[in-house]
Structure 1
Amino acid sequence: MDKLYWLDQIKLQDRAKAGDKAYYLSRIMQRGYPVVPGFVVSAEVLREFLETLNSSEALVADLPHSSLHLDVNNWRQLQQVAGRLRQEISTAVLPAHLLSTIVNAAKELESAYLIFRPSFVVPTARHGIGNTSGLLESEVCRCDEQAIALALKRTWSQMFRAKSLLYWQWAGIKVQQINLGVLVQPLKNAIASGSLNANSSEWEILATSGLGLAITQGDVLPDVYYIHPVTGAIRERQLGNKMLAYCVNDTAAVASLQTVPASPLTSDDSNLVTYLLDEDQQKQYALPEEYLQPLIQLANQLVKEIGTHFTFEWTLSCDPTRTLYLTQVSTPQATISNFHLLKGLAAAPGRVTATAHVITNSQQKPEPPPKRVILVAPTIAPDWLPLLQNAAGIITEQGGLTSHAAILARELGIPAVVRVGHATKIIQTGERLLIDGDKGEVYRLTREAGEAVERGKGDKGTGKQGDVFTNLSDSISSSSPHLPMIGTQLLVNLSQPSLIEQVQSLPVDGVGLLRSELMALNILEGQHPNTWVREGHQTQLLERLREQIMQFARAFAPKPVFYRSLDWRSHELLSFNDSLQSSTQSMLGERGTFSYLQNPAVFELELAALAAVQKAGYSNVHLLLPFVRTVEEFSFCRQKVEQAELTQVPQFQLWIMAEVPSVLFLLPEYVKAGVAGISIGTNDLTQLLLGVDREQGQLAKAFNERHPVVMGAVAQLIQTAKSAGIPCSICGQAPVLYPEIIEQLVRWGITSISVEPEAVERTYLAIARAEQRILLEAARRQLNQST
């Protein structure tokens, strides 16, 4: 049948019918490169299938010939049309002769599972954007007649989903001009998978365990290798964050991986499953060392074939041959020609397109920028919070994942990319940008490209404050009845009353960290708290603090709310006019409880506000003291707490942050002095143990919360707290950035984990997996002992 094209036989004249993806793969396969075999169901088969659709609806009946000119601004109509077309395609019956031919070809691949990859050719778009990556997705199915028919129809139907129709319409492409082929290949389990991105100055290899889906789904941070393109030497390598992997749902294969299988990928797709990597695997590079050089050699050979700029995806097979296969190859013709990419560090999730507003001087607080712009600055100070309330996104030249810019962005639910070198010099105010906070990418757009992405952003979210949390809330609410029970408490970090409503529906046990500094910035009107006191406005400030805290107490009652008292470093509030501030630019400053000894007036106001909340009938608010250096500092604060009569409420608890290394040696003394619990702040604990300022992006490699010293300190704190009979929480970024340590925390005996709202869902599931695994191990040990 000339409507099927085997990958090793596709010719130039077949390109339009087989599609670009299959054509490029066939081209290198025929030159002797290791490519996974397969065949293409040509575009002619889709046209023949569409001709067979029997429908009284004019829209469906005329589908092969319709240009589908829709009003793309009418989202309801667009969704309805897309839904109707896809339903019609998915429920239609494939002609028997077509299906029989395809099934027979599939059986020749000798694989229990198949992957259907869209491979198409489209005419030149009127705006010059030729990249359709991610527009159509692959389908996985078992190798049987019914599954093959459904997978093929699902692949075809993606051409008619809402975002596809939107793209065709904007690009000026008529549906009948699109030649959509489907590349069918065997899908077998892999030891490792990834990609290699090549240009004339550097190659980048990404690698993860199992199938490459873990990278495309964003479930892992892959290992990265940077390669010199001429010598093939490894310039640098970075171990990723890989807790899970994907494989096909083959019991024997999963067992051979010596892992603990997790739940299926989705409730309606049992073809793929995730599996947990054990601790040793997580600490190792996914790509075995002996296969790294062969992969580099493959890239060297391809340079001679297709030039210096290309990308290919690869997989290392699980079969006895342990072969490195290429699964996809693309060249610059498929890149977005009018996008200029800047790379940084993904700091807060989300994707948004907006106008840039560049701030070159971070030493003083700027004037309020226009609403819904992307702020571009060298760095961002905490007192910039009011400026960020209406921002669409954040880009900074400096900082890391625990910098103020990153924390504020995650708190507000807006995308952020930090450590973008020379961003304030490259980007100009008024320029259209797309920032991807999931990938750490910033695109400078032409006007036309910006308008296109803006119209198409409905599938990816707007980055508007609260959208991340609203979507998360909806997702979890719909699945809550099916969430497994967990024994470890999951708490949330908050500061903004405006986010309470979205967070209330999340499966959390309370607020583990109420950041008073960010909360107070909403009420201080640009004046330092000391200024309010000095000018005699204590009563007004007390009432404002009480009202702010009351909102959280009321919303979460009877669940606990841990209010952390103010902890500002002097140089973080440069815009506050206060003569009492230190002029030094110290990394530490006169911060934490030490500052209360120096000037207790503001701390006493905070205690009075907490007492007022108690008198209003809320006994769920507790106090968390920040940056405690000595037992004497704690005892001073406890005395102030007693004077404010907070301890007269039996439920009240006085905790300390465990972030100064001295607490490792003094914790038993703190407990004797009255500490009721501790919360580990991994951000400050890491920088003090390793001597690294977390605000300095160039030192990011040295700031490692997984360093054995840091993890050893965390383990010691948890175990000492357990011995002393007090609860121990953790509220730093470590569990979010490195979810693989959650199992260690649970094993050590952590009582609660507190994370930002956007991380609640994945942290909940990570805790559930960890507890399930620990229980399973305990049950097996008991069974072995009994036998």
Structure 2
Amino acid sequence: MADDEILQLAKWSMIVEEHYKKPMDMEWAKDGKDGKLYIVQARPETVQSKKNLNVLEEYVLQTVGIKTPTPLVQGMSVGSKIGSGKANKIISAKDINKFKKGEVLVTGMTDPDWVPAMKLASAIVTDQGGRTAHAAIVSRELGIPCIVGTSNATKIIKTGTEITVDCSGGENGFVYDGLIPYKINTTDISKIKKTKTKISMNLADPSQAFNLSFIPNDGVGLAREELIIANTIQIHPNALIDYPHFAKASAGQSKIVRFSDFRTNEYRELVGGYLYEPEERNPMIGFRGASRYYDSKFKDAFALECRAIKKVREEFGIDNVQVMVPFCRTVEEGKKVIEIMASSGLKKGEKGLKVYVMCEIPANVILAKEFLEVFDGFSIGSNDLAQLTLGLDRDNFEIAKVGNENNNAVKLLIKEAVRVCKQEKKYSGICGQGPSDFPEFAEFLVELGIESISLNPDSIIKTSILIAEKEKQILNHKS
């Protein structure tokens, strides 16, 4: 079809929907003889339009009247849902074509190559990883129950076994044999009070942006560019094409797009990646983030990222997109990145462009004032900040239990980062996992007076209620 035909159908669809004042399901046809387009049917849409966007769902396992089940395996739960189905154990991403919709994905560990299968899963169970591993991050954003760090799921669970994956009970998740019934309790949240703290959304999958935009939020606090590269382009590296899906989903609200933050082992998985990337013993603290952007081996690729953002802002007219630099180790690195951005057409402050930096390294806090002279504000990456403060490998389940964002050392750093942002009149936000997982951590952030909290889609409503109540308590205490 020609572009003008596609646009004509889009215009007709809008006219029909405006006439009926409701979402419509339409069918069209193109005449094989005269080439004309026709709308041949229009009826009320009966799936998305019936969803109540003001409802909070709570999953509860139904074990009354049956023997208390013994878990097959257990690990860290991701999200708060329950899922069930036939297990499909897949060890290599090369075999994901064997995975069918509605099955439970059982594997060792995931990376971006697994996302197509993850989108089809009713639940996901992995041997390795912690709360901030790839499987956990993507599962949250897809709204799929997931249990990570079981250590032995691939040994215990056999393909074809019917299992139930329960993430409804808090930090620990359990996998049970058989299909155990569960119910979903709902709560009307239409009367949630608007919070002083901005509540943004973490978003990885462009195809989910429109649907997720209906969840009450103040924009996108973190859009991960590297996942767009892995899911859409899959080549090392290339022009980016999916920014409009993020930004158009809720026009007018700020969208913070983080420049690519793949580690070398993840880049090697892309087509041709092994030709450009070294093998590192610990890529988590290796050649990643800002250090790549001015390096001769990656500078040209970063220029493509900058040109893609410039195209979205200036040619597509979506100027609510702001950018963020990840893993910036030194102030000097920050200055180099700003210079390269400017030479690629992205000049900080020009046409309203804001450039933020991830505050995820202790050095970012220690030299906060100096970093904020270079950037427009901090988005605290509590996942890496906890890892580097406590000396943890966040993909290692064995030591994940040692600590997290709730550790006092991490909280002291976050408190100082927010304080300096306020002092320097710069933006302060957080896009790490902590506020989504720990209610008390979200309350701590509200007490600090942080400007924005970016949450995973499945926890926005629940945490919004909590934050509204906390703000009310603070207000009452002051009066």
| TM-score normalised per structure 2 | 0.80
Relative to structure 1, is the Cα distance of residues 736 and 623 closer, same or farther in structure 2, using a 3 angstrom cutoff? same
Structure 2, unpaired ranges of 5+: 1-60
Of the three residues 170, 183, 189, the one matched with 1:479 is: 189
| Cα displacement (A) at 1:573 | 4.2
Does 2:138 match 1:444?
Answer: no
Of the three residues 430, 445, 448, the one matched with 1:745 is: 445
| Cα displacement (A) at 1:369 | 3.1
| Cα displacement (A) at 1:574 | 4.5
User: 2: CA distance between counterparts of 1:567 and 1:394?
Assistant: 24
SS at match of 1:507: coil
Partner of 1:107: none
Does 2:383 match 1:654?
Answer: no
1:379-438 Cα distance to aligned partner (Å, 9 max, x none): 222332223121221101122211111111111111111122311111111221111122
| Cα displacement (A) at 1:365 | 4.9
Does 2:117 match 1:387?
Answer: yes
Of the three residues 281, 285, 301, the one matched with 1:588 is: 285
Partner of 1:597: 294
SS at match of 2:87: strand
- Preserved CA contact (<8 Å) 1:347 1:400: no
- Preserved CA contact (<8 Å) 1:681 1:731: yes
1:581-633 Cα distance to aligned partner (Å, 9 max, x none): 11123132200010112221221111111111111222100001000001111
Relative to structure 1, is the Cα distance of residues 394 and 132 closer, same or farther in structure 2, using a 3 angstrom cutoff? closer
Partner of 1:488: 197
- Preserved CA contact (<8 Å) 1:694 1:703: no
| Cα displacement (A) at 1:558 | 0.6
- Paired letter, 1:133: T
Relative to structure 1, is the Cα distance of residues 425 and 680 closer, same or farther in structure 2, using a 3 angstrom cutoff? same
Partner of 1:348: 79
Relative to structure 1, is the Cα distance of residues 502 and 662 closer, same or farther in structure 2, using a 3 angstrom cutoff? same
- Paired letter, 1:441: F
Does 2:253 match 1:559?
Answer: yes
Does 2:153 match 1:423?
Answer: yes
- In our comparison, the structure showing a higher alpha carbon Rg is 1
Does 2:143 match 1:401?
Answer: no
- Paired letter, 1:519: I
Partner of 2:164: 434
SS at match of 1:405: helix
- Preserved CA contact (<8 Å) 1:385 1:518: no
| Cα displacement (A) at 1:511 | 0.2
User: 1: CA distance between counterparts of 2:442 and 2:140?
Assistant: 20
SS at match of 2:265: helix
User: 1: CA distance between counterparts of 2:71 and 2:391?
Assistant: 37
- Preserved CA contact (<8 Å) 1:365 1:575: no
Relative to structure 1, is the Cα distance of residues 776 and 642 closer, same or farther in structure 2, using a 3 angstrom cutoff? same
| Cα displacement (A) at 1:489 | 0.5
User: 2: CA distance between counterparts of 1:426 and 1:750?
Assistant: 44
Partner of 1:375: 105
1:344-391 Cα distance to aligned partner (Å, 9 max, x none): 221233222212121345xx6544332222111122223322231212
| Cα displacement (A) at 1:340 | 5.7
- Preserved CA contact (<8 Å) 1:571 1:585: no
User: 1: CA distance between counterparts of 2:254 and 2:202?
Assistant: 12
Of the three residues 265, 269, 275, the one matched with 1:575 is: 269
Partner of 2:318: 618
Partner of 1:505: 214
- Paired letter, 2:256: F
Relative to structure 1, is the Cα distance of residues 479 and 738 closer, same or farther in structure 2, using a 3 angstrom cutoff? closer
Relative to structure 1, is the Cα distance of residues 389 and 133 closer, same or farther in structure 2, using a 3 angstrom cutoff? closer
Does 2:385 match 1:688?
Answer: no
- Preserved CA contact (<8 Å) 1:378 1:397: yes
1:284-313 Cα distance to aligned partner (Å, 9 max, x none): xxxxxxxxxxxxxxxxxxxxxxxxxxxxxx
Partner of 1:264: none
User: 2: CA distance between counterparts of 1:365 and 1:663?
Assistant: 39
| Cα displacement (A) at 1:336 | 5.6
User: 2: CA distance between counterparts of 1:369 and 1:723?
Assistant: 55
| Cα displacement (A) at 1:134 | 4.4
Indicate the RMSD between aligned Cα atoms, in angstroms. 2.1
Structure 1, unpaired ranges of 5+: 1-130, 136-333, 462-470, 530-540, 780-787
| Cα displacement (A) at 1:132 | 6.5
- Preserved CA contact (<8 Å) 1:622 1:653: yes
User: 1: CA distance between counterparts of 2:196 and 2:184?
Assistant: 34
Of the three residues 141, 145, 161, the one matched with 1:411 is: 141
User: 1: CA distance between counterparts of 2:423 and 2:346?
Assistant: 27
User: 2: CA distance between counterparts of 1:751 and 1:650?
Assistant: 23
SS at match of 1:443: strand
| Cα displacement (A) at 1:716 | 0.4
User: 2: CA distance between counterparts of 1:605 and 1:550?
Assistant: 16
- Paired letter, 1:518: L
- Preserved CA contact (<8 Å) 1:592 1:627: yes
SS at match of 1:728: strand
User: 2: CA distance between counterparts of 1:580 and 1:667?
Assistant: 33
- Paired letter, 1:511: V
- Paired letter, 2:367: L
User: 2: CA distance between counterparts of 1:522 and 1:610?
Assistant: 18
- Preserved CA contact (<8 Å) 2:81 2:144: yes
Pairing of 1:174-573 with structure 2 (within 5 A): 334-335=66-67, 341-360=72-91, 365-372=94-101, 373-439=103-169, 440-445=173-178, 450=179, 453=180, 459-460=183-184, 479-480=189-190, 482-525=191-234, 527-529=235-237, 541-542=238-239, 545-546=240-241, 548-573=242-267
- Paired letter, 1:568: F
Q: Which has the higher contact order (CA 8 A, sep 6+)?
A: 2
| Cα displacement (A) at 1:569 | 0.9
Does 2:369 match 1:668?
Answer: yes
- Paired letter, 2:212: V
User: 2: CA distance between counterparts of 1:374 and 1:767?
Assistant: 34
Partner of 1:279: none
- Preserved CA contact (<8 Å) 1:397 1:422: yes
- Preserved CA contact (<8 Å) 1:365 1:574: no
1:673-715 Cα distance to aligned partner (Å, 9 max, x none): 3x11110000000000110001000102213211111000000
Pairing of 1:93-242 with structure 2 (within 5 A): 133-134=63-64
- Preserved CA contact (<8 Å) 2:109 2:129: yes
Relative to structure 1, is the Cα distance of residues 443 and 389 closer, same or farther in structure 2, using a 3 angstrom cutoff? same
SS at match of 2:294: helix
User: 2: CA distance between counterparts of 1:623 and 1:347?
Assistant: 28
- Tell me the matched-pair count: 408
